[in-house]
Chain A
Amino acid sequence: MSSIIKATLAALLTSAAFAGTASAELTGDLRIFLDTSNPAPRATMEGMIADFQALNPDLTIETTIIDREAYKTQIRNFLTADAPDVATWYAGNRMLPYVNAGLFDDVSDLWGDEMSADLASTKPSMTIEGKQYGVPYTYYQWGVYYRKDIFDKFGLSEPKTWEEELANCQVLLDNGIKCYTIGTKYLWTAGGWFDYLSLRTHGYEFHMDLTAGKISWEDDRVKEIFAHWRELIDMGAFVDNHTSYSWQEALPFMVKGEAASYLMGNFAVAQLREAGLTDDQLDFYQFPLITEGVPMAEDAPTDTFHIPSQAKNKENARAFLQYVASADVQTAINAGDKLGQLPVNKNSSVDDDKFLQEGFVVLSNSAGLAQFFDRDAPAEMAKAGMEGFQEFMVKPDNLDEILARLEKTRGQVYE
Chain B
Amino acid sequence: MTDSALADVAALGPKKPWWRRNQQKVTPWLFLAPGILFFLVYVIVPIFQSFQISFLDWDGLGQKEFIGLGNYVELMDDEAFYTSLKNNIIWLTLYLLAVPAGLFIALFLNQTVTGIRLYKSLFFFPFVISQVVVGLVFSWFYDPTFGLMNEFIGLFGLGPIAVLGDERFVTYGIIAAGLWPQTAYCMILYLTGLNAVDPEQIEAARLDGAKGIKMLWYVVLPQLRPATFIAFVVTIIGALRSFDLISIMTQGGPWGSSRVLSFYMYEKSLSEYGFRMGYGAAIAVILFLIMMVFITIFLVKMYRDEKG
* Chain A interface residues toward B at CB < 8 A: 69, 72-73, 76, 80, 97-98, 100-101, 103, 184-187, 240-245, 374, 379-380, 382-383, 387-388, 390-391, 394, 405, 412
With A76-B60, A185-B165 as given contacts, are A243 and B273 in contact (CB-CB < 8 Å)?
no
Compute how far the CA of A320 lies from the CA of B1 in the bound complex, rounded to whole angstroms: 85
Instruction: Report the separation of the CA atoms of residues A395 and B84 in the bound assembly, to the nearest whole angstrom.
Output: 20
Q: In chain A, what residue has the closest Cβ to B163? A: A244
Q: Is A379 touching B255 in the complex (CB atoms < 8 A)?
A: no
| Chain B residues, CB < 8 A from A185 | 165, 250-251, 253-254
Give the contacting residue for A244; candidates B144, B256, B270, B276; CB below 8 A: B144
Interchain CB contact (< 8 A) of B253 among A187, A240, A241: A187
Q: Chain A nearest CB: distance from B168 CB in Å? A: 11
* A382-B273 CB under 8 A given contacts A241-B165, A243-B254, A412-B74: yes
Q: Does B283 count as interface, using CB distance less than 8 angstroms?
A: no
Q: Are A243 and B253 in contact (CB under 8 A)?
A: yes
Within residues 258 to 308 of chain B, which ones have a CB less than 8 A from any CB in chain A? 267, 270-276
The reply to whether A80 and B61 contact each other, CB–CB distance below 8 Å, is yes
Which residues on the A side are within 8 Å of B271 (C-beta)? 73
Contacts across chains A and B counted by CB atoms under 8 Å: 73
Q: Return A187 CB to nearest CB of chain B, in Å.
A: 7
Residue tally, chain B, CB below 8 Å to A: 29
Most buried by A among B143, B160, B255, B270: B255
Given contacts A73-B270, A76-B61, A185-B253, 5 further A-B pairs with CB under 8 A are: A76-B275, A243-B166, A387-B253, A388-B255, A412-B74
- Of A97, A101, A186, which one neighbours B251 at CB under 8 angstroms? A186
Shortest Cβ distance from B74 into A: residue: A412
Of all chain B residues, the one with the shortest Cβ separation from A381 is B273
Q: Is the C-beta of B8 less than 8 angstroms from some C-beta in chain A?
A: no
Is B177 in contact with chain A by the CB < 8 A criterion? no
A241-B162, A244-B164, A387-B256 given; A97·B61 CB < 8 A: yes
Question: Which A residues lie within 8 Å of B270 (CB)?
Answer: 73
- Which 3 pairs across A and B sit closest by C-beta, in order of nearness? A243-B165, A383-B273, A244-B165
User: Taking the complex as formed, is B145 at the interface, i.e. its CB lies under 8 A from any CB of chain A?
Assistant: yes
List residues of chain B with CB under 8 Å of any chain A CB.
59-62, 74, 79, 142-145, 160, 162, 164-166, 250-251, 253-256, 267, 270-276
Residues of chain B lying within 8 A (CB to CB) of residue A184:
254
Separation of A390 and B267 alpha carbons in the complex (Å): 17
A76 to B160 alpha-carbon distance, docked (Å): 43
Residues of B within 8 A of A72 (CB): 272
Please determine whether B253 and A390 come into contact, CB atoms closer than 8 angstroms: yes
CA distance A97 to B270 in the complex (A): 14
B59 A243 Cβ-Cβ under 8 A? no
Can you name 23 A-B pairs with beta carbons within 8 Å?
A: A76-B275, A80-B61, A97-B59, A97-B62, A101-B59, A101-B62, A185-B253, A185-B254, A187-B253, A240-B162, A241-B165, A243-B162, A243-B253, A244-B142, A244-B144, A244-B164, A379-B272, A380-B274, A383-B274, A387-B253, A388-B255, A390-B255, A405-B79
Most chain A CB atoms below 10 A, which of B74, B165, B256, B275? B165
Query: Given A390-B254, A394-B254, A405-B79, A73 and B272 touching (CB < 8 A)?
Result: yes
* Set of chain A residues within 8 Å of B164, measured between Cβ atoms: 243-244
Q: Are B61 and A98 in contact (CB under 8 A)?
A: yes
A379 touches B273 (CB 8 A): yes
Contact among A187, A244, A380 for B162, CB-based, below 8 A: A244
Q: Which residues of B contact A412 (CB under 8 A)?
A: 74
